[in-house]
Chains A and B, each alone.
Chain A
């Protein structure tokens, strides 16, 4: 197996995730795209761990999984709060900071 086949898959997933963050308006779908990006990064870490024969990449991948779980918990809490106050989770409607 080449190193590059995993890295290319990871780059492709990362770019799809970036497209999702740009294109989506629904806050839950933006969070899902962020999960895609974090998974792409994890794939890179594990591929490089095998290439270098070091467990550091695995450790970082585990930490990223834990941070992603915390991020989704807080993110969905925020989305619920926004929905309760605004009755919408469309990110285009949250434009008070625009001036």
Chain B
């Protein structure tokens, strides 16, 4: 248990630092690379939560595909590759109190609802077979809809980005 908590603390600290750098850095490429830190930290947390299939999917889809898309987007829109001071709004300071109030409200609700409740340690773990039974059983219709959304998104992205 102690080892898990130490692992959680290290990964969580890396994720928070990475997330803060994503929203404060002045270099778009650095923001994309810090986002990789956050996403791989999330994958590690999924492993801690015994969700190895989600963790692998996270690595494949987010770190593999989405990050390449982001770097392509950065380069194709010729955002300045080096430092760029014009990345923030004029009212960027307004975001700090909004985020703080939101976090305060969420923490109050969470501390109130879950307190010091422990995660179960001996319960039967969820394996990939159960997930596939869910997807191809009760959640088949959303899965179907999702495949149409992905198809439409792929075609739409090609149509939008095509040079004609």
Contact = CB atoms under 8 A, between A and B. Distances in A.
B146 A63 contact: yes
A46 B23 contact: no
A8 B32 contact: no
A83 B161 CA distance: 10
A16 B79 contact: no
Interface residues of B, number: 90
A26 B29 CA distance: 12
Interface residues of A, number: 69
Contacts of A61: 51, 54
Q: Dominant SS at the B interface?
A: helix
Given A50-B49, A62-B57, A80-B76, A3 B114 contact: yes
A43 B28 contact: no
Interface of A: 1-9, 11-20, 22-29, 31-33, 35-36, 39, 42-43, 46-47, 49-51, 53-56, 58-59, 61-63, 65-74, 76-81, 83, 89-90, 92
Interface of B: 1, 4-5, 8, 12, 15-16, 19-20, 22-23, 28, 31-32, 35, 38-39, 42, 45-46, 48-51, 53-54, 57-58, 61-62, 65-66, 69-70, 72-74, 76-79, 84, 86-92, 94-96, 98-100, 102-103, 106-107, 110-111, 114-120, 123-124, 126, 130-131, 133-135, 139, 142-143, 146, 149-150, 153-154, 156-161
